[in-house]
Structure 1
Amino acid sequence: MKEIRLNKSMSYRTYPHRCEPGSLDFTVREYSLNGESTSEVDGDRLIDVTEYEGWETLSLELEVTIPEGLLGKVFPEFGEIPGMLAVTVHCRDTYLRDRLVLRRDPISSGTYSKTWEFNAQEVTGSIDLRPLLLRTTDAEDSGAYATDAGVFVADGERWRVELNDDSGEGEDLFDIRGTEFSSKRESNPASRFPAKDRLYYLDLESDAEIPVLWLNEDHEEVVPLLQSPEGQYEKLTSELAWNQVMTPVWTRLITIAATQYDSDDEEWPLDWQGAVFDKLHDAFYEDHSPEKAAERLQEELSESIEIATKRIDDAVQALLDPAEYYTKHVRTLSDK
């Protein structure tokens, strides 16, 4: 039986391909602030630096192990395995998404480690770290194995770093993956993926319970900037690009969640829809529960599109705060 929760801890039961969730051994061995003496980690997959104020850089010593026998369970290939081992980071408060690649093409069993350094200007509240093993190339349909580049085939336990007392609530609402839209349409003209000139695709058709935001890797200069920006200028540019993408994505998620809400049911039609209103109900109407906010927005969508879409736009701007990121970008250009 499938069980997926997107507004709580991620939980998976079934997949359309061979997948080994929780099989990667992931740990943060040490951390340091401002490049000073390192500290060992005491908590259970938790690092708490909330007592330290005024730090500028945070360094994490990451280590991920691919156990013997795992690759044969999730890849049909023999010899050189087209895989990538990475750790992703998500800061909900600043909407930072980044990825540190530990090893790729070919991938093999073993232990890999790297240091990841964060600047205090990039993160606040808390950050979540998740190890992933992904395919890096498309393959012919085998019926059992993952065949799309960018699809994850294994992960491990998440770690959280608490930075201050303003940490956010909830988990990711959707997965973010990458693939070439052109190759999808070449292999299947009836593919659900849009044309190769499109930048992204919010996939709600494959499995309505798991929204997936696909980034089009045909755009060889843009997508790497979104996934793995390097340097302060690239990171600021990446923030602007993410705002550009996430504005219509959030608008669509909100509209669908409100439209499909049924006040007569005790539960949300889909868990991610409840997560949307858990996060934004105060931005729509003060002193409204998530359920009441969804019901009222649904009424406004049917009565006045102008009022409802304005309310949605205001909520999305409050969430993403595009003016702040444009201001940071302009100031950086002025300093050059």
Structure 2
Amino acid sequence: MTVREIRLNKNLTYRTFPYRCEPDSLEFRIDQFAVDDGSFTEPEQPHYLDLDEYRGWDTLHLRIEIRIPDGLLGKVFPEFDDIPGMLVVAAHCRTTYLREGIVVEDEPIRSGTYTRDVELSSDSVAGSLDLRPLLVRTTDTDAGDEYATEAGVFVADGPRGRVDFEDDNAGDEGLLEVRTRTFSEEGEDSRFPPEDRLHYLDLESDPGQPIVWVNDDHTQVASLMAGDGGSQYDRLTRDLVWNQVMSPVWTRLVTIAAIEYDADTDEWDPEWQAAVFEDLHDELYDDLTPEKAAERLQEDLTKAPVDATRRVEDAVQSVLDPATCYMKHIQGLTD
């Protein structure tokens, strides 16, 4: 598996619900772990595992545990017997752009404690791995507006877990935040776009911390982007939406970073601009360092903007690979 490093992304949190939902109600922990053929060991913290001392590992075994407390299911499901829910752990690695739903227990669900062994290879994760437990509805229902009625919608979650691996690029991680906001609630003088827009790249609030705001007016899309639902269709659609959002975001970030680059300084300011060219300099210009690539693109944007913007778009497509993303989605619909 080829690992493509895309560090400028972060988990989207979604905490407003138009139906019965119980955030932070599941009990979740990393119960034990083992590296390669070693024995299982209990981590020092239930929600955090630091593997920095295990450099060079090939396979990581995680034993995760989720507990559904008594009384929770009755709050979020209208059914009394054979409750159509499943437990899923949403795994997200920002460095390798891995997003995967790990099914811990399938329907019908009951209160109680569930464990699942997860195996990860070193070529699929790097930097860090975020783990989010979710209780997801598995069937549609016409129970009314009070409850979640569509399959794939999560109705409860719990504390997030995190696994940190050795990270040679620790300073670059998390430089782009993703948050939700309801654009329709903004005033006329707001910098946010109209309510029919899906997202907004905010570089005004804090030039050193780019933020992608996802419009909460589009509830189903925002919920999907948050990682809710574990079906194959949901995963393929989620990747497609993320790709659609990140393409213009990357294009704008690269262009602005090039325009603002100062060749006379020893350090990048703001820092996120360095991360942009660390990832894209080879795609923009062969055999140029990130600094030289920024300087060259800055010149090209002034002298030949049509060619320069085409070069940026080609580089972003090379990194995000939208063609493959679309093909997977089409194959998923036809299979």
Q: Structure 2-normalised TM-score?
A: 0.60
TM-superposed deviation, 1:90 = 3.1
Deviations 1:175-225 (A, max 9, x none): 110111111x1xx33112111111001111111111111000100111101
Quote the residue 2:136 is aligned against.
none
CA distance in 1, matches of 2:282, 2:235: 30
Quote the residue 2:142 is aligned against.
none
CA distance in 2, matches of 1:253, 1:115: 42
Check 1:316–1:198 CA distance in 2 against 1; reply closer, same or farther (3 A cut): same
Q: Secondary structure at the match of 1:221?
A: helix
How many residues in Structure 1 have an aligned counterpart in Structure 2? 245
2:92 to 89, 93, 118: 89
Quote the residue 2:223 is aligned against.
224
Residues 1:125 and 2:122 aligned together: no
CA distance in 2, matches of 1:298, 1:115: 53
List gaps (5 residues or longer) in structure 2: 1-6, 11-27, 68-88, 102-112, 133-158
CA distance in 2, matches of 1:333, 1:32: 37
Q: 8 Å contact 1:131–1:156 — kept in the other structure?
A: yes
Q: 8 Å contact 2:31–2:63 — kept in the other structure?
A: no
Check 1:240–1:157 CA distance in 2 against 1; reply closer, same or farther (3 A cut): closer
Quote the residue 2:319 is aligned against.
319
| Residue identity in the other structure for 1:29 | D
Q: 8 Å contact 1:90–1:97 — kept in the other structure?
A: no
CA distance in 2, matches of 1:95, 1:193: 30
1:45 to 19, 42, 50: 50
Quote the residue 2:32 is aligned against.
30
Q: Secondary structure at the match of 2:214?
A: strand
Percent identity at matched positions? Answer: 41
| Residue identity in the other structure for 2:164 | R
Greater radius of gyration (CA)? 2
Q: 8 Å contact 2:33–2:63 — kept in the other structure?
A: yes
TM-superposed deviation, 1:277 = 0.7
Residues 1:159 and 2:158 aligned together: no
Q: 8 Å contact 1:31–1:40 — kept in the other structure?
A: yes
Quote the residue 2:193 is aligned against.
194
CA distance in 1, matches of 2:117, 2:221: 23
CA distance in 2, matches of 1:156, 1:97: 15
Q: Secondary structure at the match of 1:126?
A: coil
1:179 to 178, 181, 191: 181
TM-superposed deviation, 1:168 = 10
Check 1:225–1:115 CA distance in 2 against 1; reply closer, same or farther (3 A cut): farther
Quote the residue 1:205 is aligned against.
204
Q: Structure 1-normalised TM-score?
A: 0.60
TM-superposed deviation, 1:286 = 1.9
Residues 1:245 and 2:249 aligned together: no
Quote the residue 1:275 is aligned against.
275
TM-superposed deviation, 1:114 = 8.8
Q: 8 Å contact 2:30–2:161 — kept in the other structure?
A: no
Please tell me the root mean square deviation across aligned C-alpha atoms, in Å. Answer: 4.3
CA distance in 1, matches of 2:114, 2:261: 45
| Residue identity in the other structure for 1:207 | D
| Residue identity in the other structure for 2:307 | I
Q: 8 Å contact 1:93–1:125 — kept in the other structure?
A: yes
CA distance in 2, matches of 1:227, 1:237: 12
Q: Which of structures 1 and 2 has the larger relative contact order (alpha carbons within 8 angstroms, sep 6+)?
A: 2
Check 1:91–1:124 CA distance in 2 against 1; reply closer, same or farther (3 A cut): farther
Q: 8 Å contact 2:181–2:215 — kept in the other structure?
A: yes
List gaps (5 residues or longer) in structure 1: 1-6, 11-25, 64-85, 99-112, 133-154
Q: 8 Å contact 2:251–2:313 — kept in the other structure?
A: yes
